[in-house]
Amino acid sequence: MSEFNLIGPMFDFLLMVVPVLLPFGILALLIDLYIDANRRAFIASREYILLEVMPPQEVTKSPAAMELFLMAIYQTGGEATWYDRLVKGQVRAWFSLEIVSTEGNVRFFIWTRDNLAKLVESQLYSQFPGIEVVAVDDYAARFAYDGEVELFGLEYALTQPDPFPIKTYVDYGLDKEQEEEYKVDPITPTLEFLGSLGQGEHGWIQIIVRAHKKEDKDPNKWFGVRDNWKESAKEEIEKIRKSSLIDAGESKQVQTTKGQELRIAALERSVSKLSFDTGIRSIYLAEKDAFQGANIGTMIGAFKQYGSLELNGFRPEWTTSFDYPWEDLSGNKLRRLKEEMLEAYQEREYFFRSRPKFHWWRPASSVERLRFVLNTEELATIFHFPGQVSQTPSMQRVSSKKGTPPANLPV
């Protein structure tokens, strides 16, 4: 039978099948839209607050203290039942950890739901004596991409498969007691870049996190879920072990190199800790006459110190730029990209280039599916309060050391 003779029966088959399948497709679309609307309504109904965190003059705690803080904000509540998730639209809380430079003045912020602000404050005070936490107006809300300012923004991805960890404060030896002058703190290059910005320049780093849960579709079960992050770690470990097999007569033996042992140990340590779905973006924004293109490359490289050839690192994935001029001859696409990037930063949401996709089988979702998973050790490495090893003079710290009142103070 020729190809032309097949066209008729195929067309007849489609005419018969499409009217049957179309209602199911429309129903699935309506369910997605219903779930989407409920979740957005729930998110819009919450109150949010921005807290400025001013570390004390002397930070004696290692990043391990920040790791304990992150464990405390590992919040999975609000999504217990399908009714909570799908009908009421409830989603678990997410947080935004931010390091900001306003004309070289470096500050730390944490954005959260209003009802979790006390938890954030109390946990910070418990881990960092002498710290100050105050509610402030949103520094980002006053900006708009309206022709008065120029900006460059990017979102990061990982250089290796997700389960491989980045180089953390443990790898830099900050988990051990040592003299301040011998410490090497990986956050210092980032703070130095932010502190170098001048008048009319602003640098923003935003780390959006929410508690990571087992919520990926299990391909082996109709309604089951699994944790792809942990499953991928197991697969990577198995790959390494298989690649280290050598023939030993009638059998095979595992003979791993030091590098392979390092990768296996890093993977096992990584998935043993609490983890967060994470998205990271940076924005360099300045008044038009103050915008310095050279700062773009410095901002992109501000996370290089967390990378390792053996393990993982960060690379820019989405940027507010195009590779070739013919991709945006009118300039309208670039303008929209920058507007969307700034809006996404202000709303503390992900992704900025695509809207979320909801599925009825997924137990939970935030506003968007975040880009990768980082554990508490990795997050504490890229967001913590440095000690005196960081000499950034413009970093906001508490102006004086606070003392505790005497125990016999009369009431």
pLDDT of residue 366: 36
Which letter, b or e, does each residue of 226-251 get, where b requires 16 or more Cβ atoms within 10 Å of its Cβ? ebbbbebbeebbeebeeebeeeeeee
Using the predicted structure, report yes or no on whether residue 319 has a pLDDT greater than 90.
no
Mean pLDDT of 2-11: 63
Helices (H), 245-387: 258-271, 294-300, 332-347, 376-382
Question: Residue 49: which of 95, 108, 3, 107 has the closest Cα?
Answer: 95
Using the predicted structure, report yes or no on whether residue 261 has a pLDDT greater than 90.
no
Could you tell me the two tokens for 321? 């730029």
pLDDT of residue 358: 37
Least confident of 15-19, 251-255, 328-332: 251-255
User: Are the beta carbons of 278 and 202 closer than 8 angstroms?
Assistant: no
Question: Residue 167: which of 375, 385, 379, 378 has the closest Cα?
Answer: 378
The residue with tokens 């696409």 is 333
Sign of CA dihedral 140, 142, 146, 148: negative
Could you tell me the two tokens for 178? 């040592």
Question: Residue 56: which of 403, 405, 401, 391 has the closest Cα?
Answer: 401
Distance CA 8, CA 60 (A): 79
pTM of the entire structure?
0.85
Helix, strand or coil, per DSSP, at residue 359: coil
Summary mean pLDDT of the chain: 83
DSSP of 212-234: --S-EE-TTSSS-EE-HHHHHHH
Question: Residue 167: which of 187, 181, 183 has the closest Cα?
Answer: 187
Q: What values do phi and psi take at 394, rounded to 5?
A: -95, 10
Distance CA 340, CA 11 (A): 43
Distance CA 268, CA 290 (A): 47
Mean pLDDT of 86-115: 93
Helix (H) or strand (E) holding 178: none
Distance CA 191, CA 289 (A): 24
Return the beta strands (E) in 349-409 as ranges.
372-375
pLDDT of residue 394: 61
User: Which DSSP category does 301 fall into?
Assistant: G
Number of neighbours of residue 361 by Cβ within 10 angstroms: 11
Sign of CA dihedral 107, 112, 118, 124: negative
Q: Which residue has the higher pLDDT, 364 or 339?
A: 339
Could you tell me the two tokens for 291? 């915008």
Helices (H), 272-361: 294-300, 332-347
Could you tell me the two tokens for 113? 């739901």
Question: Residue 198: which of 73, 287, 84 has the closest Cα?
Answer: 287
Instruction: Name residues whose C-beta falls within 8 Å of residue 401's C-beta, 6 or more positions apart in sequence.
Output: 56, 57, 58, 130
pLDDT of residue 384: 93
Least confident of 118-127, 176-185, 312-321, 394-403: 394-403
> What single-letter amino acid sits at 55?
P
Distance CA 70, CA 166 (A): 17
Beta strands 314-319 and 372-375, pairing class: unpaired
pLDDT tens digit sequence for 174-185: 888 776 666 788
pLDDT of residue 183: 75
The confidence band for 396, taking pLDDT boundaries of 50, 70 and 90, is: low
